[in-house]
Amino acid sequence: MKIKSNLVKATAAAALTVAGFATVNAVNPSSSAHVQAATTRVKINYVPGYGINVWDNYNHGHFTGNRLQHGSVQTVLDTKIDDQGRTWYMLGENQWILAQYTVSADKKVKSSKSVQAAGDASSILALAKAQLGKAYVWGGTTPSGFDCSGLVQYVFKNAAGINLGRTTYDQVKDGVSVSMNNLQPGDLLFWGSAAAPYHVGIYLGNGKYIHAATPGQGVIVQSISSYFYPSVAKRVL
């Protein structure tokens, strides 16, 4: 009887293990543990009545046969950039979608502007930090290489669906001006004149910002200092 009891326990444990594996890798995870591990949520933004393909890899993957419908909300577990400079979101094991067909889910479901901005900012900061160490390339707008405004344009477009101008002269015209004493993560910092700044970075919080600095430094994080102090801050979220 003891052997039979142990066998039943082992079988039940194995069943729970398999069930847990299936839950973790579902496209629409419902378990609280899975949601807590997620970094952000996105909404499929394609064509009403149609869906986007789910691929088994972000680099040269194959179509899994599954499609996600326009308007459905998905939980993003990881973000990757393929060798063509495109951003992909991982929804589960061997389940990837192109970020360009999504928008932040928090934009529609949150009621206040401050909460909405926080949701967008987390996605922007995550994608910006994923570019750390990338090369500085004059005129660069992809992970192959960025200049300062190219990095800002790429991150805001791919993380939040916000289309900013290509140059610092254009980007400084977007959003509203904010005090340097009232900065929030995701704000844009500019150096130079308010009308024609020569440099831009993304504020991370705690006095730090990320930017494509120089050809010798690439994309790095630095602290705001009196030696290199921003002249203008804009909030576009």
148 flagged as catalytic:
yes
| Strand-pair partners of 222 | 209
Q: For 49, left (φ over 0), alpha (ψ -120 to 50), or beta?
A: left
| Strand-pair partners of 211 | 220
Give ∠ CA 52-55-61 in degrees, rounded to 5.
135
- From the list 34, 62, 70, 199, the catalytic residue is 199
34 flagged as catalytic:
no
Cα–Cα distance between 198 and 219 in angstroms, integer?
A: 16
Whole-angstrom Cα Rg for the chain:
21
The secondary structure of 56-72 as a DSSP string is S-TTT--EEEEEEETT-
Cβ(230)–Cβ(181) under 8 Å? no
b/e map 135-171, b = 16+ CB within 10 Å: ebbeebbbbebbbbbbbbbbbbbbbbbbebeebbbeb
Q: Among positive and negative, which fits the CA dihedral 75, 79, 81, 86? A: positive
- From the list 34, 60, 62, 148, the catalytic residue is 148
* Token pair of 172 as six digits: 């400084």
- From the list 34, 60, 70, 211, the catalytic residue is 211
The catalytic site residues sit at 148, 199, 211
